[in-house]
Amino acid sequence: MNTAIPLLVFAGSTREHSWNRKLAGAVTAMASAEGAQVTRLELADFDVPLYNADLEAKGTPRDVIRLKEIFHAHPAWIICSPEYNGSYTALLKNTIDWVSSPVKGDPVWGSGTKAFAGKVVGLLSTSPGALGGVRSLSHLTPLLLNLQAWVAPKQFAMPKATEAFDPDGRISNDAQRTAVHGVIDQVLWAARRFSA
């Protein structure tokens, strides 16, 4: 019997009609059906300013500490990353910069890699174009590796997002759904073995 793995799912976008937020919703349903204990995170729910060391010196914002706690509590993550100008979004980079910044003198968060080290991270993307946002994933991978996360080798960038979802938000194409399932399954498989 498989243990329910706590899985964090979020998109690097806060746009209301974001395709990657829609993809995160589909992933949440699929991973829940696989028996994962899924937390769907919306970055819009957190008041996180643009990273600035002078601002940080006045005290790490409470919502940044909340994000550190949430990231740390989940051994497995799936990030749905939009592609802006051939890379990941400023929102996603800012979130990672804050969460990875050590809190000086704090006995819990004194290490910047604490929330990232050993986490199993699956990467997905979608866009209306033919490449599906794949370049964002190629940039995001080394960033996460630098923070000591284990990035799942299976990744998927889903093209033609405007045609990819049915009216209920499910992935309508069988091959695309199988590819997304492959990332979910590899993340859960690795997280189970890392936590054994």
Report the predicted TM-score, pTM, of the whole model to 2 decimal places.
0.96
The fraction of the chain above a pLDDT of 70, given in percent, is 99
- Which domain range does residue 103 map to? 6-195
Does residue 1 sit within a domain?
no
> Do the domain assignments include residue 137?
yes
**Residue 88: CATH number of its domain:** 3.40.50.360
Q: What is the mean pLDDT of residues 173-191?
A: 97
| DSSP state string for 53-106 | HHHHHT---HHHHHHHHHHHH-SEEEEE---BTTB--HHHHHHHHHHTS--TT-
**Please, which residues bridge with residue 7 across strands?**
38, 76
Q: Is 70 part of a structural domain of the chain?
A: yes
Cβ atoms of residues 86 and 125 within 8 Å: no
Q: What is the pLDDT of residues 74-89, one digit of tens each?
A: 999 999 999 999 999 9
Report how many domains make up the chain: 1
